[in-house]
Amino acid sequence: MVEQICLVTGATSGIGRATAHELVSRGASVVIHGRRPAELDATAADIRASTSNEKVTVLLADLASLGSVRQATDRFIAEHDRLHVLVNNAGVSLTHRSVTADGYETTFAVNHLAPFLLTNLLLELLQNGAPSRIVNVTSTAFRRAQIDFDDLQASEASAESPHTVSRSSPTSCSPTSLPGVSRAPTQRSTACIRASCAPPSGRVSGSHCRCE
């Protein structure tokens, strides 16, 4: 993956960190995202030291703020003219209802609105990097969830209810919900942006592409 540029959100721990480490070990240039500067810098230093690859940079953003997502994307675009792999990994799992400064239910904002906005703003760079890939790390929690499409922000649920988020916020992810991603693959795969959903088990649950 030499000369490939990758962006991994939520990369300071867990699946995100392991993914970033593997990409860097394969020679890619990886931008790791997080919301705590000290953790970001420490993670980047550890990955560089363990892979002997210095091509690790950081991107600070709070995904609970759409303004922060836009600012981070502006910084990324200012420093890169293409993107080959976008891994939407960051997410939250809350047992209570809370609301962001933008007025959105937190799980809905972080797990859905933020990656949708981020992907949309980076589409041009993904097109420049085609064939490129978007990987959405999902959760099997959707099997326990019930989506109330009339109340996506769980405004009618109790803030103290331990099931508020899982009952009212969708936790699955569809690549066809991403802007410009079609359901039908095309033969011109070399010009594609391919989007996939991957649960922590590693089994890809869907793959769709957009081709120019």
pLDDT (tens digit per residue) in 51-104: 999 999 999 999 999 999 999 999 999 999 999 999 999 998 888 889 999 999
Q: What is the CA radius of gyration of the chain?
A: 17
Residue 162 to residue 146: CA distance in whole angstroms: 14
pLDDT (tens digit per residue) in 177-207: 444 443 333 333 445 889 888 877 655 555 5
pTM: 0.82
pLDDT at 86: 97
Residue 86 to residue 72: CA distance in whole angstroms: 14
Confidence of residue 2 (pLDDT cuts 50, 70, 90): confident
Phi, psi of 187 (to 5 degrees): -70, -20
pLDDT at 204: 53
Instruction: Give the sheet arrangement for strand 132-137, strand by strand.
Output: 56-60, 29-34, 5-8, 85-88, 132-137, 192-198, 206-211
pLDDT (tens digit per residue) in 136-164: 998 777 677 777 888 878 787 655 454 44
Is 144 in a helix, a strand, or coil?
helix
Q: Is 5-140+172-211 a CATH 3.40.50.720 domain?
A: yes
